[in-house]
Structure 1
Amino acid sequence: MRKDKLSERDVCTKFITPALQEAGWDIMSQVREEVSFTEGQILVNGNKVTRKKSKRADYMLYPKNHPNLPIALIEAKKNTKPLGGGMQQVLEYAEMLDVPFVYSSNGDGFVEHDRTVTDGKRERILTLDEFPSSEGLWERYCLWKGINEEQEQIIAQPYYVDASGKSPRYYQRIAINRTIEAAANGQDRILLIMATGTGKTYTSFQIIWRLWKSKVKKRILFLADRNILIDQTMTNDFNPFDDKMTKIKKRQIDKSYEIYLALYQGVSGEEDWKNVYKQFSPDFFDLVIIDECHRGSAKADSAWREILEYFHSATQIGLTATPKETKDVSNIDYFGEPVYTYSLKQGIEDGFLAPYKVIRFNLDRDLDGWRPEQGKRDKFGYEIHDRVYNQRDFDRKIVLEKRTELVAKKVTEYLKKTGRFQKTIVFCVDVDHAERMRSALINENADLYSRNHKYIMCIVGDNKEGKASLDEFIDPESTYPVIATTSKLMTTGVDAQTTKLIVLDRHINSMTEFKQIIGRGTRVNEEYDKYFFTIMDFRNVTNLFADPGFDGNPVKVYEPGKDDPISSPDDMDTNPDNEIIKEKESNYKPYVDDVDVHVSVERQQFYGPDGKLITESLKDYTKKTVREEYRSLDDFIQKWDEAEKKETIIQELLEQGIPLDALQEEVGVEYDIFDLICHVAFDQKPLTRSERAKNAQQDTYFDQYGEKARRVINALLNRYAEGGIEDIESMEVLRIAPFTQIGSPMEIIKVFNGKQKYLETVHQLKKRIYSA
């Protein structure tokens, strides 16, 4: 067969793979083909969830004895394409994967792009027999990185692989490798930034494992700020350390272990804290890992920092999803610039994290404020101070009980519409507000609460019953509690994988705290149908999404030596396991029960393809986006008609960030996607699905079919009228009523004289549906 007639796979098999073998690459151990390294971004349309295609490298090459480190990528193309036709695509992959040597080939040779070259010729053309050897690329890599033989032994230490074969995701691999390389090069302060839900603890374990196994670090201390985190870590990710590992408890120090885990508070929480960690010599630990290092360890004058400075000779690695950079607190000042950052935006684009939508409520009393009439008294008879109270005052300085009831009502309405057993966290101003919110939600959900009193729980630091239910709330297998009201206890470190609704009913001034709260919903759990989450915002908190600092790299603004340091709210509570309410004012907080509160504005916002919320009107965004892709109505109709499956066009619209389910709700659920787009983007009068189905039903083309076939055709049209075009494009529709009453899928297909004839009938059916 002529070379220009070969498929892309044939080009790989006949030319690229033999060229690698000829260059000395071991195909079995050093070469991986068709490697998918992302999951594919999650796209949500109503109750249907799909994914974009995952990103996939045609070839990923590993140097000898270095299974942790992909060193080269090859993108293959058909021979009809230019030699370097795949270079731009594979360069994007190489940047994501942190791979230095990049190749494109159409079977005639290779174009090489050397990302290690900073001053000189980066690209060159190679013949098939000039592809570099594994040793040659490794030598160039070591020269670039400045790696000597001793450091190479550290870098070569393999990951821990369990019985299931689990290995690090691509971004975890980069984080681990960069940290190992930094440690091997003698860097003693290292910062990693990884979004909540991306596996920081697992990444920590692999870093420790490789440094420990290579005997570079023999005694390691892992510090976290939650007891539950320590226990989960020991049971799950750190389990392979087994009897080499221990948890430091107060006044129970055993120096025979190699891996130590401890609470910050466990070694610094009481007056005799120095007696705990000073039982170890300053050089006892070779490595200290600080989880959630944005908290107390970021403050130069904190007791936690004193622990780190005591063990100053150890390599110290800080991990956080939310680095803190304020005038008096700095992670960068202590740890240095991050060696790697993996953001929420990247996680959502890759499909490892869940996207979100926002429902914002503006309440009339929040917008206009409220001033009591002269002599006004609260429900307990105390006189209310005469002033204008605004949104920031509510629940902190004054309570409008009907405001709390309205929030509970709106939350319940949403849950009744979308599913009443979705794990929900309601963030409140303080413990008092969390308790009152719990009561208001019970009144709105009396039916489910009467079945199980744990349906709604207040989970705060000073409530033993609620706090004891935290483990049950975060357990995906536990149905109850369903709704948790809280203040600060659940803002960080709570691995609630199935949380689908986050309710914000308190002001958040700290970007760090905001990121932590949003992180409660970002985990994906396919087993429990958790692919996305919703944020209900009653305090305009989600304005912070527009702040460049939300998903950008941290900028150092630390000003050491300030006489009057400014603390952000999440610095106030240094012991999140023991929530402390610090009132700035000791004045009585009035409780007002006779002031009505109403919703003035309710608006949905959606996660856009650029990683930002779509803030313009849904119709305007749809019109602009569609017209960027399709020049005219005729162009759109032509593409729609040409699509073998209309679902392909629907998928493309979703990938462009158009929330089609919300658009249907706004314009009319009775309209087809085709009519929605024609109407919103090109100002055409829409037809309902029922009207289109009726028109198609009257078409004389189907008169040629027998009675049983006509029954199937009519059932397909009815199905289209009810659900849309995607329903009839799938043959799975034949497995449900009313088709099952006509016959089995095989029997129905026989009525049309085979599968091909059935599919042709569906094609003709779609053609007539859209002929108007």
Structure 2
Amino acid sequence: MNKKQMSEQDIRSKFITPSIVSCGWDIQSQIREEVSFTAGKVIVRGKLHTRGKSKRADYILYYKPNIPIAVVEAKDNKHPVGGGMQQALDYGAMLDVPFVYSSNGDAFLEHDRIQSIETELPLNGFPSPAILWQRYRQFKGIDDSADRVIQQEYHDDGSGRTPRYYQLNAINRTIEAISKGEDRILLVMATGTGKTFTAFQIIWRLWKARIKKRILFLADRNILVDQARINDFKPFGSAMTKISNRQVDKSYEVYLSLYQAVTGTEEEKNIYKQFSPDFFDLVVIDECHRGSADAESAWRDILTYFSSATHIGMTATPKETRHVSNIHYFGEPIYTYSLKQGIEDGFLAPYKVVRIDFDKDLTGWRPEQGKVDKYGNEIEDRVYNQKDFDKNLVLDKRTIMVAQKITAFLKATDRYDKTIVFCEDIEHAERMRQALVNENPDLFRRDKRYVMRITGDSTEGKNELYNFTDPESRYPVISTTSKLMTTGVDTQTTKLIVLDQNIQSMTEFKQIIGRGTRIQEDYGKFYFTIMDFKKATELFADKDFDGDPVQVYVPGPDEPPVPPDDVDIDDGDDDGTIIDIDPPDVTIPPGDGPPPKKYYVDDVPVFVVAERVQYYGKDGKLITESLKDYTRKAVTQSFASLDDFLKRWNDAEKKKAVIEELEEQGVLFEPLADEVGKDFGPFDLICHVAYGQPPLTRRERAENVKKRNYFAKYEEKARLVLEGLLDKYADEGIEHVENIEVLKLQPINQYGRPMEIIKNFGGKEKYLEALKELESQLYIVAS
């Protein structure tokens, strides 16, 4: 067969794979083909969701199972040798590999990312594993002693769970840094991306290579320590122990500890001082933004005491304030995997935002002269605004309104969706619990755990924390909290996060958002919703936020707090300090004495202010212009003229590709259809909004095709199928017609099974030709 006529698969199997194998690469252990290394972004449409395409490399070559060293992208022979290079370079950067190749079966084009040099190599001239490893070592400055630990493999329990690509990047960069003598290392990984598993694999490789023999893993929540010991760290077995508040046993090698267990009182500090300062070779600090960054914190006592050890800090939110910096302590992060990247890769859940504004929050409230609260306390005369509510002054009807909106949302979605309500303090969390009980008496009667306050002072609430985080446990469903659940709690199935708390700290905001970012496919959790009552989501516009939502929904006063189904989503203190446990609140009774901590007002009405829907654009900035204007700008950036757009549309093998391309540029088709007309398809929406063309509905386009008697040249059975496809287009759009699965659906399936239908056209190729011609007929008027 002529090489030009071969498929890409044939080129790979007949030329590329044999060439790589002949140059010394083992096909069983070093060559992996068609490797999908991302999960595919979760795309949400109303209450439905789908997955985008995962990123898939044609080949990834491994020097060792834990060391990916090269990416090879293949193209058929109609392409030039370097036809796959740009795609390969993207993959190479993501996978952190130094050598990138493209081939069409004639030769290889090599891009050395270390030196940014491209060289064409003959088909039999692919570098051997030893040659690439030697080049890699030379660039990285890896000597023989470092080589041993770098080649130490990660732990494989045989279950098939191996590090994801970004976890392996973080592990390898850390191992390389330590092998070269670096002793202060920072890893930044978004919540939900597996920091503990990554930490375990780092420790395992260093421990098995005997580079680090005694290790201390520190966390600041008991649940984190126990989860690590029972789950990810389990392979350490009898070599591992958890430190408690008593005499320590120094015969173990891996120690896990709650930092409060070894710091605090002088007696507790004596626990870690039972170890000699040089006892540990390695200290790993989980969630290091909450202590080690502060030179005066208890964590730093431990780090200072064990200063001769290597210190690895892990966090989702590196803290940078005027007073505190963990980058100053650890140095710049050696690897960062952001929330935004996690959502793009499909490993983290995207989210909707519902923003609800109350009249008193926006305009403030001033008491009339001499007004007393419901406990008889005279209210200080001043204007109280959003920052005061629930902190200095309580409007009971506002609390009730928040509870009503939360309940309305759950009733419209699923009343058993796990929900966290973040309140100003413990007292606010208790009032919110009461208000939610009153709005949901039917479900509370079934189980008193339907709504629970989970705060630092509540033994009953803390006892239910494990159940709240357990996907198997139905109760508790709604948790009201303040600081206790801000961070470090693995709430895998949380689908609604409610913000009724003034949040000024980007660190705290990112941590709170992180409570919802985990995907749990087995439990139907693919995305989550943020309901914001105190403008906290304005922090999305901050330059330091890295996971922008695409759309924010602001319901009017009489509208449900649920975004319409046709909206798509593809996508503390000022110094950032997070308090681990809420301080107790004391409400001073009326009468003599100092003014109360809070005033309680029960006779002031609160209303929802009507506002329009607001959108976040592709760049993460809030769109304040009209949706039509925004769309026009987004489209014309890609297609300067109508002719440019028509050419791209008509040349596209599938129209869906153009639609997705525009969505990636920030075009929101279904909200746009709400504004222009629900019966217009993407083609007419773009032609009308961006280029001023008169639009036709899908039904009008379909009828125009029928009037032309275009079907006359087909046999009856084929003609009936095409008419059915036209009706499908009129009802549901072009994307559904292009999908071969449409042949299995009514009314088209009445003409036979898909293969029988395709035979009526003379085979699959002829069917696709007929479909292409049908599309041309549909859009002939505007073109």
Corresponding residue of 2:144: 149
From 597, 604, 610, give the equivalent of 1:595. Answer: 604
User: After superposition, where does 1:561-710 map in structure 2 within 5 Å?
Assistant: 568=574, 571=577, 573=579, 575-576=580-581, 587-605=596-614, 608-610=617-619, 616-633=625-642, 636=645, 646-684=655-693, 686=695
Matched, 1:341 2:336: yes
Inter-CA distance 396–39: structure 2 relative to 1 (3 Å threshold) = same
Q: CA deviation at 1:173?
A: 0.6
Q: CA deviation at 1:201?
A: 0.3
Indicate conservation of the 8 Å contact 1:365/1:597, yes or no.
yes
Whole-angstrom distance in 2 between the partners of 1:534 and 1:178: 35
Indicate conservation of the 8 Å contact 1:72/1:101, yes or no.
yes
Q: CA deviation at 1:148?
A: 1.4
User: After superposition, where does 1:411-560 map in structure 2 within 5 Å?
Assistant: 411-551=406-546
Q: Deviations over 1:3-57 (max 9, x none)?
A: 3333333333333333323322223322222222222222222233233322222
Inter-CA distance 764–580: structure 2 relative to 1 (3 Å threshold) = farther
When normalised by structure 1's length, the TM-score is: 0.88
Q: CA deviation at 1:653?
A: 3.5
Whole-angstrom distance in 2 between the partners of 1:761 and 1:105: 34
230-239 or 628-637, which deviates more: 628-637
Corresponding residue of 1:166: 161
Whole-angstrom distance in 2 between the partners of 1:547 and 1:532: 22
Corresponding residue of 1:284: 279
User: Which amino acid is 1:204 matched to?
Assistant: A
User: After superposition, where does 1:345-384 map in structure 2 within 5 Å?
Assistant: 345-384=340-379
Inter-CA distance 700–421: structure 2 relative to 1 (3 Å threshold) = farther
User: Which amino acid is 1:112 matched to?
Assistant: E
Corresponding residue of 2:3: 3
Inter-CA distance 582–335: structure 2 relative to 1 (3 Å threshold) = farther
Indicate conservation of the 8 Å contact 1:46/1:661, yes or no.
no
Whole-angstrom distance in 2 between the partners of 1:127 and 1:586: 85
User: Which amino acid is 1:54 matched to?
Assistant: S
Inter-CA distance 352–616: structure 2 relative to 1 (3 Å threshold) = farther
Corresponding residue of 2:84: 86
Q: CA deviation at 1:697?
A: 7.9
Three-state SS of the structure 2 residue aligned to 1:70 is strand
User: Root-mean-square deviation (CA), in Å?
Assistant: 3.5
Whole-angstrom distance in 2 between the partners of 1:524 and 1:612: 26
Indicate conservation of the 8 Å contact 1:460/1:579, yes or no.
no
Q: For this pair of structures, how many residues does the alignment match?
A: 751
Q: Deviations over 1:576-620 (max 9, x none)?
A: 3x6556999973411112222222244555565446665654333
Corresponding residue of 1:188: 183
Q: CA deviation at 1:333?
A: 2.0
Inter-CA distance 93–760: structure 2 relative to 1 (3 Å threshold) = closer
Q: Deviations over 1:344-378 (max 9, x none)?
A: 12212222222223232332212211111112222
650-659 or 180-189, which deviates more: 650-659
Indicate conservation of the 8 Å contact 1:708/1:751, yes or no.
no
Whole-angstrom distance in 1 between the partners of 2:97 and 2:720: 58
Three-state SS of the structure 2 residue aligned to 1:113 is strand
Indicate conservation of the 8 Å contact 1:246/1:261, yes or no.
yes
Unaligned runs of 5+ in 1: 553-565
Q: Deviations over 1:681-709 (max 9, x none)?
A: 34455555666677778886779999999
Whole-angstrom distance in 2 between the partners of 1:9 and 1:103: 17
Indicate conservation of the 8 Å contact 2:58/2:73, yes or no.
yes
Inter-CA distance 691–459: structure 2 relative to 1 (3 Å threshold) = farther
707-716 or 611-620, which deviates more: 707-716
Corresponding residue of 1:57: 57
User: Which amino acid is 2:65 matched to?
Assistant: P
Three-state SS of the structure 2 residue aligned to 1:167 is coil
User: Which amino acid is 2:31 matched to?
Assistant: V
Q: CA deviation at 1:515?
A: 1.0
Matched, 1:229 2:224: yes
Corresponding residue of 2:71: 73
Three-state SS of the structure 2 residue aligned to 1:391 is coil
Inter-CA distance 454–602: structure 2 relative to 1 (3 Å threshold) = farther
Three-state SS of the structure 2 residue aligned to 1:408 is helix
676-685 or 162-171, which deviates more: 676-685
273-282 or 47-56, which deviates more: 47-56
Unaligned runs of 5+ in 2: 548-571, 589-593
Q: Deviations over 1:520-578 (max 9, x none)?
A: 122222222222222222222222222222239xxxxxxxxxxxxx97465362x43x6
Whole-angstrom distance in 2 between the partners of 1:18 and 1:403: 71
Inter-CA distance 748–70: structure 2 relative to 1 (3 Å threshold) = closer
Q: Deviations over 1:377-420 (max 9, x none)?
A: 22223221110111111111111122222223333333333433
When normalised by structure 2's length, the TM-score is: 0.86
Whole-angstrom distance in 2 between the partners of 1:414 and 1:767: 44
Indicate conservation of the 8 Å contact 2:673/2:680, yes or no.
yes
Corresponding residue of 1:31: 31
Inter-CA distance 2–720: structure 2 relative to 1 (3 Å threshold) = closer
Indicate conservation of the 8 Å contact 2:743/2:754, yes or no.
no
Whole-angstrom distance in 2 between the partners of 1:680 and 1:122: 45
Corresponding residue of 2:114: 116
Indicate conservation of the 8 Å contact 2:75/2:104, yes or no.
yes
Whole-angstrom distance in 2 between the partners of 1:68 and 1:661: 44
Q: CA deviation at 1:342?
A: 1.2
Matched, 1:403 2:398: yes
Inter-CA distance 620–285: structure 2 relative to 1 (3 Å threshold) = same
Q: CA deviation at 1:664?
A: 3.9
Indicate conservation of the 8 Å contact 1:424/1:483, yes or no.
yes
User: Which amino acid is 1:238 matched to?
Assistant: F
Whole-angstrom distance in 1 between the partners of 2:133 and 2:773: 59
Inter-CA distance 30–355: structure 2 relative to 1 (3 Å threshold) = same
Whole-angstrom distance in 2 between the partners of 1:768 and 1:113: 45
Matched, 1:299 2:294: yes
Matched, 1:218 2:192: no
Indicate conservation of the 8 Å contact 1:357/1:606, yes or no.
no
Q: Sequence identity, in percent?
A: 62
Indicate conservation of the 8 Å contact 1:253/1:279, yes or no.
yes
Corresponding residue of 1:13: 13
Q: CA deviation at 1:261?
A: 0.8
